């Protein structure tokens, strides 16, 4: 645990609380904050999401609770970013609360349909190329009742996407599958029958925006729509998987934190998730998380080293 002691925008000291209870004061001339977002702090998430946040799963470390971010903001650093915005994907509902990692993420949405607990579709599963859209599904599921949804597909596509830690739930019939998912069988049968009837014949190619689409249903599936008709029928239950939050400390081009009075801090820098909001307003495209960490990590490290030498 680290306490920051900042006066007049200056970082003066860090006090390390040792596990044995002792306290050691370390004076540092420069600080680089790289302690992640507040995604693992469910109470903080609840301030924006309400009780729904109890059903969120956190994909990474349980230690990114935003303690350093909160301290910096309280001590006069300017904040940036919408606190409700985050990188959130659909992950297996059977994943652990924290640290499920990459192997719990489901990339199968484009190969099937997604229904909520009322067995109703709620969004175009084929809106755009997957790397541009996979990170919207966490928020979409978060907006559904009880923050649960089900990706439904059939046996013809089961080898088309990366396998995950959890096997799909299977049923020889739609009704059997519905029973295992505790969904209303008649409602799921109707959703799939309506979807199948709306599918237009096209040439399937999930690497481009192909011409396999539906007609006459809402929401439409605008690409990669194929009938779900070959048993066994398969499903993954999914919940919002929060990767990282966007609220952060405002920085300038040197990755130097800006104070509430608009002035750059004399010696405090930030890199990674803790300043992600400088780059990400909302939405996401694959790879930006690591890019923010590595680019601003390098810039902040270089500038902090220069600062320390002065
Ligand atoms: C499962 C998963 C998959 C991902 N996949 C991708 C991907 O494919 N592509 C991509 O670009 N990005 C991906 N990301 C995002 C990317 O990994 C992160 O954006 C990046 O690692 C963030 O780096 P960081 O240094 O800011 O934070 P982190 O790597 O999270 O490091 C922050 C560290 O600070 C520590 N810490 C927090 N609070 C305190 C405190 N009070 N005191 C002391 N230490 C503290 C934490 O323990 C942690 O070690 C993924 C993230 C996860 C969780």
Q: Is the pTM of this model over 0.85?
A: yes
Q: How confident is the model at residue 6, as a pLDDT?
A: 59
Pocket test for ligand 1, best of 85, 272, 277, 285 (most atoms within 8 A of CB): 272
pLDDT tens, 239-281? 999 999 999 999 999 999 999 999 999 999 999 999 999 999 9
Q: Whose CA is nearest to atom 43 of ligand 1?
A: 1
pLDDT tens, 197-242? 999 999 999 999 999 999 999 999 999 999 999 999 999 999 999 9
DSSP 75-124: TTBPEES-TT-EEEEEEETTS-SB---GGGB---GGGSEEEETTS-B-S-
The model's confidence at residue 16, banded by pLDDT at 50, 70 and 90, is low
Under 8 Å between Cβ of 156 and 187: no
Q: Whose CA is nearest to atom 34 of ligand 1?
A: 35
Per CATH, the number for 2-33+69-82+246-309 is 3.50.50.60
Q: Whose CA is nearest to atom 28 of ligand 1?
A: 36
Centroid of ligand 1 to alpha carbon of 244 (angstroms): 8
Beta strands at 149-154 and 113-116: parallel, antiparallel or unpaired: antiparallel
Q: Write the CB contacts of 87 (distance below 8 Å, at least 6 apart in sequence).
A: 135, 138, 242, 243, 244, 246, 280, 284, 289
Instruction: Answer whether 2 contacts ligand 1 (Cβ < 6 A).
Output: yes
Mean pLDDT of 278-300: 94
Tokens of 228: 């779900």
Per CATH, the number for 88-241 is 3.90.700.10
Pocket test for ligand 1, best of 38, 39, 64 (most atoms within 8 A of CB): 64
Beta strands at 23-27 and 149-154: parallel, antiparallel or unpaired: unpaired
Locate the domains of the chain by residue range.
Answer: 2-33+69-82+246-309, 88-241
pLDDT tens, 137-163? 999 999 999 999 999 999 999 999 988
| Cα distance between residue 68 and residue 72, in whole Å | 6
């Amino acid at each position: 645990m680290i306490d920051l002691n900042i006066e007049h925008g200056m970082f003066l000291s860090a006090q390390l609380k040792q596990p044995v209870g002792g306290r050691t004061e370390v004076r540092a001339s420069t600080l680089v904050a790289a302690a992640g977002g507040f995604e693992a702090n469910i109470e903080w998430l609840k301030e924006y999401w309400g009780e729904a946040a109890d059903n969120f799963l956190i994909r990474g470390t349980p230690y990114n609770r935003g303690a350093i971010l909160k301290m910096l903001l309280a001590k006069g650093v300017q904040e940036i970013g919408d606190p409700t915005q985050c990188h959130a994907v659909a992950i297996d509902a059977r994943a652990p609360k924290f640290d499920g990692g990459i192997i719990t993420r489901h990339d199968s949405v484009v190969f099937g349909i997604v229904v909520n607990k009322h067995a109703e579709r709620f969004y175009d599963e084929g809106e755009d190329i997957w790397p541009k859209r996979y990170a919207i599904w966490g928020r979409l599921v978060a907006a559904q009742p009880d923050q649960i949804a089900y990706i439904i597909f059939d046996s013809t596509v089961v080898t088309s996407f990366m396998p995950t830690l959890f096997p799909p739930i299977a049923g020889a019939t739609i009704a059997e599958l519905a029973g295992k998912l505790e969904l209303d069988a008649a409602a799921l049968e109707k959703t799939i029958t309506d979807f199948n009837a709306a599918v237009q014949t096209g040439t399937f190619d999930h690497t481009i925006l192909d011409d396999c689409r539906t007609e006459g249903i809402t929401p439409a599936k605008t690409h990669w729509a194929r009938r779900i008709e070959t048993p066994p029928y398969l499903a993954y239950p999914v919940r919002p998987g929060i990767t990282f939050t966007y609220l952060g400390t405002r920085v300038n081009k040197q990755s130097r934190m800006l104070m509430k009075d608009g002035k750059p801090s004399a010696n405090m820098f930030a890199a990674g998730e803790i300043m992600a909001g400088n780059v990400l307003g909302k939405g996401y495209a694959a790879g930006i998380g690591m890019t923010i960490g590595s680019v601003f990590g390098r810039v902040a490290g270089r500038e902090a080293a220069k600062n320390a030498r002065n």
